[in-house]
Amino acid sequence: MNQLRVILLLLGCTLISARAADTRPNVVLLMADDLAATLSCYGHPQAKTPNLDALAKRSVVFHRAYCQFPHCNPSRSSMMSGLRPNTTRVTNNEDNLYTNLPEVLTLPHHFRNNGYATARCGKIFHLGVPSGLESMDDPQAWDFGTPFKSELPYPPKRESLVKVKAGKKQGLGWQEIPGDDDQLVDGNFAKTAIEWLERRDKTKPFFLAVGFHRPHLPLVAPAKYFDLYPLESISLPEAPADDEADIPAPARNGAVPGYALSCTPEQRRAAIRAYLACVSYVDAQAGRVLEAIKQMGLDDNTIILFTSDHGWHLGEHGLWHKRSLFEECARVPFILHTPGMKAAGQQSQGLIELLDVYPTLCDLCGVPAPKHLQGLSLNPLLRDPTAAIHEEAFTQARRGKDAEFWGRSIRTARWRCTEWDEGKNGIELYDHESDPQEYTNLANEPQHAAVLKELRARLAEKLRPVTK
């Protein structure tokens, strides 16, 4: 009996030692909501984002990263499952990933199964609030998760602007509020994330996902972030007066009910200012988490990824929303840091997709990647940022009164080609070498017929219509 006790004791010590010796890297996923590449490190002339700029200096900054569906639930379902929307069949905020794919194995669930302590602070999967939307969170993914509560009522306003004309809201509503950062959910997400890091199971590597709600509407932030952007300093980008003339009807302003806004120049500047204030607020909360990681001595063994679910329009092509297939909406910021990386501070122009997040984190952490994943590991680009792993990136969208128009888009290093209902309701072709703002639709130009034919063939091959 004594001999058996000794054997069991030795086995127990061995298991404890093995757990304590788990030196696989930690993962911190920082994710914004509705954030375009509106960061100083992406060359935005007005954005003040010092914390993310500092992260960029020790990371690889990917300049051509694209979401698969510029709508919250579809994009997040695709990214976290590693599957295209054609496979998830999640194409609006009401579709349920787990109903469509009952056996789906999401990224954090997979890491949890492989011995990681997992925590969610904020919005990673699509999360509803008491207004009635169902939460699309994966209950099997997390050891710890925070609720996503309504912020209403907001603290007493310092200033706001929501003008009403003919019964319709004109411009984007925004509000400056007094007080500190923790009055809004993102401050509390950062605070809760830091508290979890302090009390986590230190025998395990961790996967911490912090999902910030801003700059999603409503554009509300503490007044000190508005003070960074005097209204008179906000400039408006120039655009051709006839920009909308060659845009197919499904892609135009007004094609999605509730998204059609008519803004005066004053309202547009106010909206851009409010959006930038929210971006700086998110930057500050990300900075809190990054500083805590540093102070806890976790920097040397922690992968950090900052990205967004999709972009956002601030008046480009007359649009003030998401759910478009133009560059401002399909493109996302993507900053990736790995411990001891040799390519720190470099820029990558290689095309990547949010689908690549799942296989990349598996690769970097030594976690076996599920065979069903449809993205690729970005590890080759971390070793050589001038390399390329994709020839194209694909994005899909639905627009129209009843979301009846189905769009699909291919982005190559030079071109963007977009079809609406496989071309029945319009085709777009933009040359990014000469027209990076996508102002001139070349789809009807004979000299580009061969390029258009090739790109449409690749779209048809890769993105077959979604079956609901």
Residues 87/105, Cβ–Cβ less than 8 Å: no
Express each pLDDT in 349-380 by its tens digit.
999 999 999 999 999 999 999 999 999 999 99
Is the residue at 9 inside a domain?
no
Residues 116/206, Cβ–Cβ less than 8 Å: yes
Is the residue at 18 inside a domain?
no
Is the residue at 441 inside a domain?
yes
CATH number at residue 376: 3.40.720.10
Among 41, 67, 72, 278, the active-site one is: 72
Q: Which pLDDT band holds residue 186 (cuts at 50, 70, 90)?
A: very high
Is the residue at 17 inside a domain?
no
User: Is 317 annotated in the active site?
Assistant: no
Express each pLDDT in 80-121 by its tens digit.
999 999 999 999 999 999 999 999 999 999 999 999 999 999
* Domain region containing 143: 24-462
Domain count, the chain: 1
Question: Longest Cα pair distance anywhere in the chain, in angstroms?
Answer: 89
Is the residue at 10 inside a domain?
no
Is the residue at 8 inside a domain?
no
Is the residue at 14 inside a domain?
no
Give the per-residue pLDDT at 18.
Answer: 43
Give the per-residue pLDDT at 1.
Answer: 47
Confidence check: pLDDT of 166 > 50: no
Confidence check: pLDDT of 17 > 80: no
Report phi then psi at 394, rounded to 5: -120, 140
Among 126, 213, 321, 337, the active-site one is: 126
Give the per-residue pLDDT at 293.
Answer: 98
Confidence check: pLDDT of 262 > 90: no
Mean pLDDT score, 182-191: 96
Is the residue at 16 inside a domain?
no
Reported for 163-171, long-range contacts at CB under 8 A and 24+ positions apart, including other chains, are 163/267, 169/261, 170/261, 170/262, 170/263, 170/264, 170/267, 171/261, 171/263, 171/264, 171/267, 171/268, 171/270, 171/271
Express each pLDDT in 295-334 by its tens digit.
999 999 999 999 999 999 999 998 989 999 999 999 999 9
3-state secondary structure of 46: coil
Q: Which residue has the higher pLDDT, 264 or 92?
A: 92
Mean pLDDT score, 143-156: 84
Give the per-residue pLDDT at 197.
Answer: 98
Q: Which residue has the higher pLDDT, 391 or 266?
A: 391
User: Is 72 annotated in the active site?
Assistant: yes
Average pLDDT of the chain to the nearest whole number:
91
Mean pLDDT score, 204-217: 97
